[in-house]
Amino acid sequence: MVFSSAKPRGTRPIRRQINSKRMFQDVHVMMFIGFGFLMTFLKRYGYSSVGINFLLAAICIQWNTLCQGFFHMHDGKIEVEIFSLLNADLGTAAVLISFGAVLGKTTPLQLIVMLLIETALFATNEWMTIHIFHVADIGASMFVHVFGAYFGLMVSFVLKRDHRSPKEGAVYHSDVFAMIGTIFLWLFWPSFNASPGIGDQQHRAVINTYYSLAACCVTAFAVSALVSKENKWDMVHIQNSTLAGGVAIGTAADMMVHPFGAMIVGATAATISVLGYRYLTPRISKSLGIHDTCGVHNLHGMPGILAGIVGSIVAASATLDEYSYNLYRIFPARAPLDGTEDLLGVRNHLPDIEPGLNRSASEQAAYQIVVLLVTLAISIVGGLLTGLIMRISFFGSVSKEHLFDDEPYWEVPEEELSHGHQESRTYQPHKREVADSRM
């Protein structure tokens, strides 16, 4: 997210607040319904998928308000406005992505430890890369998706152990529940990618994301049928790889990629993603010992890297002729230096443009790649260290028979008995007492 392209917060007009509220509401649905239900494919981990996602996200939006707020204080205070809520949600996505990598294999306390450290590192990386490197990443594909994916994979690596479990799978209706998550993520991803932008920049991001996702969806279905057993669709691909286009277009969403460009990116992302699920994820698990429950490497990791590369390539070809003065909204560092006549010339057309660093297109493209590498470095090192901290026995660990199982943390109804009915957890606790007294 590039803050300096937006008006300073204190002067944000009411219409912008209204617009932020709607974008915020869409992103909010993605974090809690989208991520929460996407992970309910696990047949005995549904309560935890939705419930622990809920808990982690609720902690994260509060901790993010502080962490992100520390970097943007005014007069020693953190200002909270609608845009702060949106930002906190965007940062929460990184943690939920990491959660997806370790889903079913950690205790809630381990996850909270991970959240606290990861969020602080996330906010630091976000600030550093905006205020030191000044890059464009409107959809946060590097900040959030690459960061969250590799952080989570490193945590999973450090927590390596024997993960084989018959509970690591779906049943018919849990796969349908997961589609609730998939579809809501797919529907609102244009808002996610467009939310930090304003005006034309925002609309371009919506349109590019929409077409990237459309092409991604169709390609994911096609490639899945090509590579799967008996050429049948694999629900894993349909639930996840159909979303890869949203990630892959994220960095360049507000740039002039044109709909056909967005669609090429989306189709490429879907292909990489499905091939990843089919061939790469099993090998990474066997050979490197990195078990990736939700396959976040295929939805957030590789598509995020693709996004960074695409962003760099498109940035390299961005000219004033093509973008007009909007160039400086998307790439603030390319604006003329403070006090120059060029800056005055720009401000005749767009009065709110801040002074920049007068970078050339190639320089900007180079910085885009630098940030991708820095983000990878921080997330990998941060994930390794956090994983080591999470191994402290005080935070607990999940035994083999309790992998991918709600039972250690939730009061769960008992299994179905052979005569076809199910003993249920009665709603009123006292009923058990009553039942007991009647026996």
Checking 72-77 for CB contacts under 8 A at 24+ apart, the result is 72/3, 72/9, 74/10
d(CA 417, CA 182): 32
Q: How many chain residues interact with its own copies (CB under 8 A)?
A: 110
Six token digits for residue 409: 């943390």
Write down how long the chain is. Answer: 439
Quote the least distance from Cβ 242 to its own copies, whole Å. 7
User: Smallest gap, in angstroms, from Cβ of residue 297 to its own copies?
Assistant: 12
Segment 420 to 439, residues that bind its own copies, using CB under 8 A: 420-422, 424-431, 433-434
Q: Which is nearer to its own copies, 247 or 343 (CB)?
A: 247
Cβ 80 to its own copies shortest distance, Å: 6
Q: Does 255 bind its own copies (CB under 8 A)?
A: no
To its own copies, the closest distance from the beta carbon of 214 in angstroms equals: 5
Tracing tokens 């590097």 back to the chain, one arrives at 142
Is the CB of 96 or the CB of 135 nearer to its own copies? 96
- CB 95 to its own copies: min, Å: 14
Taking the complex as a whole, how short is the minimal distance between the CB of residue 65 and its own copies, in angstroms?
A: 8
DSSP letters spanning 111-133: HHHHHHHHHHHHHHHHHHHHHTS
Give the 3-state secondary structure of residue 74: strand
By CB under 8 A, what part of segment 89-148 binds its own copies?
A: none
Separation of alpha carbons 39 and 43, rounded Å: 10
Minimum CB separation of residue 367 from its own copies in Å reads 30
Q: Which is nearer to its own copies, 130 or 255 (CB)?
A: 255
- Nearer to its own copies (CB atom), residue 161 or residue 431: 431
Helix, strand or coil, per DSSP, at residue 416 = strand
Considering the rule CB under 8 A, would residue 349 count as an interface residue with its own copies?
no
- Residue in this structure with the two tokens 């990736």, named with its chain if needed: 292
* CB nearer to its own copies: pick between 76 and 420: 420
Please, which of residues 318-347 interact with its own copies by CB under 8 A? Answer: none
- Residues 262-301 contacting its own copies, CB under 8 A: 263, 277-278, 281-283, 285-286, 293
Our CB check for its own copies shows the closer of 160 and 203 to be 203
Smallest gap from residue 249 Cβ to its own copies (A): 15
Direct distance between the N- and C-terminal alpha carbons of the chain, in angstroms, rounded to an integer: 62
Beta bridge partners of 416: 422
Q: How far is the CB of 340 from its own copies (least distance, A)?
A: 30
Residues 387-416 that bind its own copies (CB under 8 A): 408-413, 415-416
DSSP state of 408: T
Residue 246 is given by DSSP the state: H
Which residue do the tokens 């992103």 mark? 27
Q: Min. distance of Cβ 273 from its own copies in angstroms?
A: 14
Q: Which is nearer to its own copies, 43 or 300 (CB)?
A: 43
Distance CA 182, CA 170 (A): 15
Query: Could you say whether residue 259 binds its own copies (CB under 8 A)?
Result: yes
Q: Which stretch binds its own copies (CB under 8 A): 187-195, 314-322, 366-374, 378-386?
A: 187-195
Q: Which is nearer to its own copies, 53 or 312 (CB)?
A: 53
**Subset of residues 203 to 242 that bind its own copies, contact rule: CB under 8 A:** 203, 206-207, 210-211, 213-215, 217-218, 221, 228-230, 232-236, 238, 242
Name residues whose C-beta falls within 8 Å of residue 170's C-beta, 6 or more positions apart in sequence: 41, 42, 43, 178, 235
Residue 295 CB, nearest approach to its own copies (Å): 8
For Cα atoms 98, 150, 197, give the angle at the middle one, nearest 5 degrees: 80
Under rule CB under 8 A, which residues in 15-44 are in contact with its own copies? 15, 17-19, 21-22, 25-26, 28-29, 32-33, 36-37, 40-43
The CA distance from 228 to 300, in Å, is: 21
83/151 with CB nearer its own copies: 83
Cβ distance to its own copies smaller for residue 219 or 251: 219
∠ at Cα 193 (192, 196), nearest 5°? 85
Binding positions for its own copies, 39-98, rule CB under 8 A:
40-43, 46-47, 50-51, 54-55, 58-59, 61-62, 65, 80-82, 84-85
Residue position matching structure tokens 């694999």:
234
Burial of 110 (0-12, 13-18, 19+ CB in 10 A): buried
176 binds its own copies (CB under 8 A): yes
- State the Cα–Cα distance between residues 309 and 327, nearest whole angstrom: 19
Q: Which residue has the tokens 């006292």?
A: 430
Most distant pair of Cα atoms in the chain: their distance: 90
